[in-house]
Chain A
Amino acid sequence: MSIVQTTRPPAVPSTKVANFKPTLLQTEEHHLCPGCGEPVAIRLVLEVILELGLAQNNVCVIGHGCYGSFVMTLDVDCTLCLHGRAPAVSTGVKRMRPDVAVWTLQGDGDMTSEGLAEILHATARGENITCIMLNNGVFGDTGGQMTASSVIGQRTKNTLEGRDAAYHGYPIVICDMVASMQGSAYVARGSVHNAAAIAQTKRLIRKGFQRQLEKKGLSLVEILTMCPTGWFVPAAGGADYMMESLGKTYPLGEIKDVAAAA
């Protein structure tokens, strides 16, 4: 079977249409697991920031989760904060530097378990920040335990028989909560399970940042990301598993857009 040579760029005239890494990452290297969805979501946010001309004018406030290791390689201004406190830290940054685009990079454990008060109060205050929540339904970084966002029936390290509503309670659907509050401007949910969803998610992220630039209030973009390690599934099966589990409780699309409602 004929294999095309792919060790170096083509010798005949051609145009490069996609780079290995996003421009705003310093290296392609990272130690996240095979099949993890988080690096894909991070690439989308960094592409949007570059395309909106915000590369020199944004601050990323990072929570605690596997995505946190990107604090070492992101080529944008960033700071780590206490678990779940990113919307509160962002509030301070944004109020001191109102012309800087401020965004959080959080996980479902970080936002809905550890930091539920921070996201809700930041929303209630109508802070002009953009919150990005990577939802894999587990505390991935600590080994795949249940979070407030784990869905009913989901197997995690501490719900080996599946999350049971009667015993563990029901998942917190943070997008619905934030959308119901007056201080939110834009709320949407995307996913990185295939190329079409990835392209759509990038549009949602762009709108999230645009509402901040228009000073409309808080924007929240939740992104479903695969965590094959925490789910005990093979890397190649993570995307399908995600849409059959998290995807049922967390449908994709826009939940609120004040610009559209006007």
Chain B
Amino acid sequence: MRRESRGTLVIDVERCKGCELCIPACPPKVLSMSTISNHHGYLYPELSPGCTGCTACQQVCPDYVFEVYRYQTPVMAVVDTEAA
């Protein structure tokens, strides 16, 4: 299936401390934790298509890991149904 993203992120994964507060904070639930760790040994969030650019993740993150962008025109991406 195809999913629309109205926003996107830059995630500075090397500064993430793996607290996972951003995961439940994301309303469309498009953040999930990585399976490999950063150089500090922490798992970090990864973004799937469907971000709205709402900034909730950036607001709850204690480590200032997110930068948030809103697209001028929404971007469509193909996602497999299992992940969606």
Contacts and interface: CB of A to CB of B under 8 A. Distances in A.
B15 interface: yes
B21 A7 contact: no
Interface residues of B, number: 47
Nearest to B47: A4
B68 A6 contact: no
A194 B71 contact: no
Given A9-B10, A28-B64, A15 B47 contact: no
A39 to B, nearest CB: 4
Contacts of B83: 1-2
Contact of B62 (A6, A8, A35, A194): A35
Q: Interface of chain A, helix or strand or loop or mixed?
A: loop
Q: Interface of chain B, helix or strand or loop or mixed?
A: mixed
A1 B64 contact: no
Contacts of A14: 7-8, 69-72
Nearest to A42: B62
Contact of A40 (B8, B12, B60, B68): B60
Given A2-B83, A17-B55, A12 B19 contact: no
A-B complex: 8 closest residue pairs judged by Cβ atoms? A35-B19, A1-B83, A34-B17, A235-B19, A236-B20, A18-B68, A195-B56, A28-B64
Given A1-B79, A18-B59, A40-B59, 7 more contacts: A1-B83, A13-B73, A15-B70, A16-B68, A16-B69, A20-B12, A198-B59
Interface of A: 1-4, 6-10, 12-21, 25, 28-30, 32-40, 43, 192, 194-195, 198-199, 228, 235-236, 238-239
